[in-house]
Amino acid sequence: MTTISSMDVSHILDQLNKPQREAVSAQAQPILVLAGAGSGKTRVLVHRIAWLIQVEKVSPFSILSVTFTNKAANEMRFRIEQLLGSSVGGMWVGTFHGLSHRLLRRHWQEANLIQAFQILDSDDQLRMVTRVMRGLGLDKKEWPPKQAQWYINNCKDEGIRPQSIEDYDDKTTRQLRIIYATYEAACQRAGVIDFAEMLLRSLELLRDNPELLQHYQQRFRHILIDEFQDTNALQYAWIRLLCGDQNPPFAVGDDDQSIYAWRGAKIEHIQQFSQHFTPTAMIKLEQNYRSTGNILKAANAVIAHNEGRLGKNLWTDRGEGELVHLYSAFNELDEARYSVSRIEEWVDQGGHYQDIAILYRSNAQSRVFESSLNEGAIPYRVYGGLRFFERAEIKDALCYLRLTVNRHDDASFDRVINQPTRGIGNKTVEMIRQHSRHLALSFWDAAKALVEANSFTPRAGNAVRGFLQLINTIATEIIDLSLEEQVEKIISASKLKAYYLKKDKGEVGQGRIENLNELISAAQGFHYRPDDEHADMDFLTAFLSHAALESGEGQAKAGNDCVQLMTLHAAKGLEFPLVFLTGMEDGLFPSERSTSEQSKLEEERRLCYVGITRAEKQLVISYTEQRRLYGYLNYNQPSRFLKEIPSAVVHTIRPKIKAWQRHFHLSKSSPKWKGTINETGMNIGQRVSHAKFGEGVVIDVEGAGKHARAQVNFDLEGSKWLVLHYANLQVL
């Protein structure tokens, strides 16, 4: 008989509240902890594991814990070891993919794989699908490989194999089924598996090998799942199988934070849980330990606008804390500079960079922040995504630009000679490389020489000639263009957009297009003052070196004291003393695509709730009146979610910098902007009156003609930008 030392027990239950203790120390039975953000779900899960090991004397071998990211898994192991004061080997902690992969490596034979099976990432997968379809003699236009890939992955995510697809005499379905089956056979021959296959194959491995299943069911007596609200059908089936009838799962989640419906996650699993696993002990946690009262009130108020919630109310005893700060920025540069000034202030007052997160809806928004952080010499890290100038599509476009400047840039040549694909195969490229090696020529000169000597097959020769001509033509055509026009021209002439749209379906492809458009914005906003260090460079070269520098050293290494930049999706589960929730504009957040559909809008609102609840002490929300993003200048309304935050918890911040400074810093430096300040007929400092907003003072003017705008600080309504053409301001 084991005796439970009261030391162990009190140690683990010490810093938990009553329902948390109840969950951590519960008897073996299915448990579902359903609770809002920051109420200690992850903490409960970690303590539960420590409890099992230390008090129930469960072997770490019999514990399997699934979390959402690798980072979370490492963090979890670390926290458990801290609690126990010793290391826990043998425990399985990881993501669904990581754990499935582990099973397949161990049981490759039973899983019908070769021992050295390789994993296809989504690029590799598409190439494979394309090859298979070519083999089937399918026309790419009629049957875009990208769509077939999408179809295959969807089937796998739902656990469907080709043989169980009903075609109902539908020609398309029949064809897709053939592609799926042929692709499957090709992968099998090549000994490779894609991501979706990893989950499905491991599920089938367990399902079809009763002995193996029994072995693992007997081993993993304790299965714990964090972020349960975001599991998809396959993952849920995987859990049910491993639990069987005997192992009660311990799941924690929050229906209000379900943000992966677009990837097949189903909130219904939360509802089904208590039907599948009986009797389930439902435990609710309502005390939030993360955020101050004002932040929590904002979060509660926003999420209350969603329908069909399971319903809970978070409270805190930590006091109201600071108000939520709301900054109405003039544009995205102003937003970034303001954030940087707040970061400097925070650090001046003794805070650390690592206390801080900048959150945004879309990856492309990081660029301007990166730029301002670099300017301010503030260490930062873009988390869960590549830095802007390091993204594949951006690098492609920059390589084209580089080649127009310097034909002998071999790295650029190598990268884009067959990107987008133009029928130049590896063999041809290898010939060019060799020729360049032998004669010590640049790739460009080697290719030219080989074309002129007719050394390639006619097809390859034509393709290479076409590429050389393309670069020469672009180079000639862009000579007299402005920088942004040059970038635009290169993106269109290279056909990169069409290429990526076809290659990466859905959100990923769309994201790449947005990034390419954002590169045009970057060119538009690029400051070039001939009197600074770029003295004798042309615009394009200056821009390229700027891009190269920005992708270089700036980013701090993981673990260093640095500001973290990430999308709202990537911020799930994390917490920071100071959080910037940026780009709160309708059309951006909530995203344009979501506003017409209730369910999508609600998912955006949950994302907003996730964002707000990351903040511990201070939340700074910002939106811009005008934003250059994806190559367009937008005048968006403040996000509709802002109206859902009670004004009593908000402190609105007015721009501090003077009008002329703003103008100097924020306007573009291209010549056509010079001298426009006074064309509006408005003077800074002038008192004016407006029919609706009353009287105020002009604090900034910009633009000309129909686009002329003035910022007026109204006595009662605060500052607003007005288009003069419509505003009808009366000079007082």
Q: Tell me which residues are annotated as active site.
A: 41-42, 226-227, 257, 614
* Cβ atoms < 10 Å from Cβ of 639: 23
Which of ligand ATP, Mg ion, none does residue 43 bind to, with CB < 5 to 8 Å depending on kind?
A: ligand ATP
Restricted to residues 608-667, the positions that interact with ligand ATP (CB under 6 A) are 613
Q: How far apart are CA 428 and CA 419, in angstroms?
A: 14
User: Can residue 573 be called a binding residue for Mg ion (CB under 5 A)?
Assistant: yes
* Residue 42 contacts Mg ion per CB under 5 A: yes
- If DSSP codes are grouped into helix, strand and coil, which group holds residue 410? helix
Among Mg ion, ligand ATP, none, partner that 40 touches (CB below 5 to 8 angstroms by kind)? ligand ATP
Q: Which residues have CB under 8 Å from 25's CB, separation 6+?
A: 9, 13, 51, 55
Q: Which of the listed partners (Mg ion, ligand ATP, none) does 361 bind, with a CB threshold of 5 to 8 Å by partner kind?
A: none
Question: Which one of residues 5, 15, 82, 472 is an interface residue with ligand ATP (CB under 6 A)?
Answer: 15
Taking the complex as a whole, the smallest distance from the CB of residue 723 to ligand ATP amounts, in Å, to 42
Nearest one of 18, 84, 32, 75 to 56, comparing CA atoms: 84
- Complex with ligand ATP: residue 195 or 273, whichever CB lies closer: 273
Q: How far is CA 413 from the centre of its chain?
A: 30
Q: Is 267 a residue that touches ligand ATP (CB under 6 A)?
A: no
The least CB distance from residue 70 to Mg ion, in Å, is 15
Tokens (6 digits) for 195: 């991501």
Q: Is 42 in the site for ligand ATP (CB under 6 A)?
A: yes
47-50: long-range contacts (C-beta < 8 A, 24 or more apart)?
47/12, 47/13, 47/16, 47/20, 47/83, 48/23, 48/24, 48/224, 48/250, 49/76, 49/80, 49/91, 49/222, 49/224, 50/12, 50/80, 50/83, 50/84
Q: By the 8 A CB rule, do 52 and 211 touch? A: no
Any contact of residue 38 with ligand ATP (CB under 6 A)?
Answer: yes
CB 362 within 8 A of CB 588: yes
* H or E segment to which residue 598 belongs: helix 598-612
- Residue 522's identity, in one-letter code, is A
Question: Is the Cα dihedral 40, 46, 49, 53 positive or negative?
Answer: negative
Among Mg ion, ligand ATP, none, the one that 39 touches (CB under a kind-dependent 5 to 8 A) is: ligand ATP
Stretch that binds ligand ATP, among 41-49, 264-272, 348-356, 589-597 (CB under 6 A): 41-49
Binding region for ligand ATP (CB under 6 A) out of 40-48, 145-153, 333-341, 489-497: 40-48
Contact between 517 and 631 (Cβ < 8 Å): yes
Q: Residue 411's closest CA among 386, 433, 394, 439?
A: 433
Residue 528 near which of Mg ion, ligand ATP, none (CB within 5-8 Å, type-dependent): none
Could you give the maximum distance between any two Cα atoms of the chain, in Å? 90
Residue 484 CB, nearest approach to Mg ion (Å): 43
Beta carbon nearer to Mg ion, 253 or 525: 253
Angle between helices 426-439 and 458-477 (to 10 degrees): 70
Site size toward ligand ATP, by CB under 6 A: 19
| Stretch near Mg ion under the rule CB under 5 A, chosen from 37-45, 407-415, 500-508, 528-536 | 37-45
Smallest distance, ligand ATP to C-beta of residue 310, A: 14
Q: Which tokens in the block code for residue 48?
A: 């539960």
**Closest CB to ligand ATP among residues 77, 407:** 77
Piece of the chain touching ligand ATP by CB under 6 A; list 16-24, 269-277, 676-684, 723-731: 16-24
- Which one of Mg ion, ligand ATP, none is in contact with 382 (Cβ closer than 5 to 8 A by kind)? none
- With contacts defined by CB under 6 A, name the span among 35-43, 151-159, 513-521, 558-566 that binds ligand ATP: 35-43
Q: Which is nearer to ligand ATP, 207 or 284 (CB)?
A: 284
Phi, psi angles (nearest 5°) of residue 614: -75, -20
Q: How far is CA 523 from CA 527, 634, 668, 696, in A?
A: 9, 17, 10, 35
From residue 561 to residue 580, the character string flagging contacts with ligand ATP as x (rule: CB under 6 A) and all else as - is ------------x-x-----
Nearest distance from C-beta of residue 17 to ligand ATP, angstroms: 5
Closest approach, Cβ 572 to Mg ion, in A, equals: 8
Site membership for ligand ATP, residue 20 (CB under 6 A): yes
Report what 67 binds from ligand ATP, Mg ion, none; CB cut-off 5-8 Å by kind.
Answer: none
Q: Which does 297 bind (CB under 5 to 8 A by kind): ligand ATP, Mg ion, none?
A: none
Instruction: Check residue 313 for interaction with ligand ATP (CB under 6 A).
Output: no
Q: Which does 289 bind (CB under 5 to 8 A by kind): Mg ion, ligand ATP, none?
A: ligand ATP
> How far apart are alpha carbons 712 and 625 in whole angstroms?
13
Q: How many residues does the chain have?
A: 732
How far, in Å, are 299, 326, 585, 590, 637 from residue 641 at the CA level?
10, 13, 9, 8, 11
Interacting residue with ligand ATP among 19, 31, 34, 39 (CB under 6 A): 39
The least distance separating ligand ATP from the CB of residue 73, rounded to whole angstroms, comes to 14
Taking the least distance from each CB to ligand ATP, the nearer of 19 and 696 is 19
- Rounded to a whole number of angstroms, the minimum distance from the CB of residue 64 to ligand ATP is 19
Query: Nearer to ligand ATP by C-beta: 17 or 95?
Result: 17
Least distance in Å: CB of 571 to ligand ATP? 9
Which of 15, 661 has the CB closer to ligand ATP?
A: 15
Q: Which residues pair with 638 in a beta bridge?
A: 585
Could you say whether residue 554 binds Mg ion (CB under 5 A)?
no
Binding part of the chain for ligand ATP, among 15-23, 115-123, 239-247, 626-634 by CB under 6 A, reads 15-23
Rounded-to-integer distance, Cα 353 and Cα 561, Å: 6
CA distance to 213, 472, 489, 536, 538, per residue, from 480 (Å): 69, 15, 12, 17, 12
Give the residue with the Cβ less far from ligand ATP, 247 or 257.
Answer: 257
Q: Using CB distances below 5 to 8 A depending on partner kind, what does residue 511 bind out of ligand ATP, Mg ion, none?
A: none
Q: Nearest Cα to 720, choosing from 729, 710, 730, 728?
A: 710
| Dihedral pair phi/psi, residue 270, rounded to 5° | -60, -45
Q: Determine the Cα–Cα distance for residues 705 and 698; give it in Å rounded to an integer.
A: 18
Residue 177 within binding range of ligand ATP, rule CB under 6 A: no
Which residues share a beta bridge with 711? 700, 721
Q: Does residue 16 bind ligand ATP (CB under 6 A)?
A: yes
Stretch that binds ligand ATP, among 31-39, 132-140, 306-314, 459-467 (CB under 6 A): 31-39
- Phi, psi dihedral angles at 712 (to 5 degrees): -120, 130
Query: Could you say whether residue 383 binds ligand ATP (CB under 6 A)?
Result: no
Q: Which residue is nearest to Mg ion (CB)?
A: 42
Taking CB under 6 A as the binding criterion, the range among 39-47, 505-513, 518-526, 617-625 that sits at the site for ligand ATP is 39-47
Nearest approach, Cβ of 46 to ligand ATP (angstroms)?
8
Q: Which amino acid is at 9?
A: V
Given Mg ion, ligand ATP, none, residue 16, with its beta carbon under 5 to 8 Å by kind, binds ligand ATP
Q: Which residues of 175-195 are buried (b: 16+ CB within 10 A; e: fewer)?
A: bbbbbbbbbbeebeeeebbbb
On whether the CB atoms of residues 94 and 67 are closer than 8 A, the answer is: yes
65 close to 59: Cβ distance less than 8 angstroms = no
331 contributes a contact to Mg ion by CB under 5 A: no
Stretch of 229-237, 298-306, 502-510, 565-573 lying at the interface with Mg ion (CB under 5 A): 565-573
Half-sphere exposure (CA, 13 Å, Cβ side) for 509?
17
Question: Which residues are near ligand ATP by CB under 6 A?
Answer: 15-17, 20, 35, 37-43, 254, 257, 289-290, 573, 575, 613
Question: Which residues are near Mg ion by CB under 5 A?
Answer: 41-42, 573
